[in-house]
Amino acid sequence: MVKPEVLKKLEFFKGFTEGEIKVFSERLIIEEFESGHDIFHENQIGDDSMFIIIEGAIKISKKQKNAEKILANMKDGEFFGEMSMLYPAPRSASAVTIKPSKMIRFSDRDYNSFKKDHPDIVVKLNEIFIKILVQRLREADKRLVKEGLGIGAL
pLDDT in tens, 46-80: 788 999 999 999 999 999 888 999 999 999 999 99
Contacts of 111 (CB under 8 A, 6+ apart): 85, 86, 122, 125
Q: How many CB atoms lie within 10 A of CB 105?
A: 17
Q: Is residue 151 part of a domain?
A: no
User: pLDDT tens for residues 113-126?
Assistant: 999 999 999 999 99
Full domain range(s) for residue 86: 4-146
Domain count, the chain: 1
Please report which confidence band the pLDDT of residue 140 belongs to, taking 50, 70 and 90 as the band edges. confident
Selection from 106, 115, 59 nearest residue 85 by Cα = 106
Q: Which CATH number covers residue 121?
A: 2.60.120.10
Check residue 149 and give its pLDDT: 67
Q: Is residue 152 part of a domain?
A: no
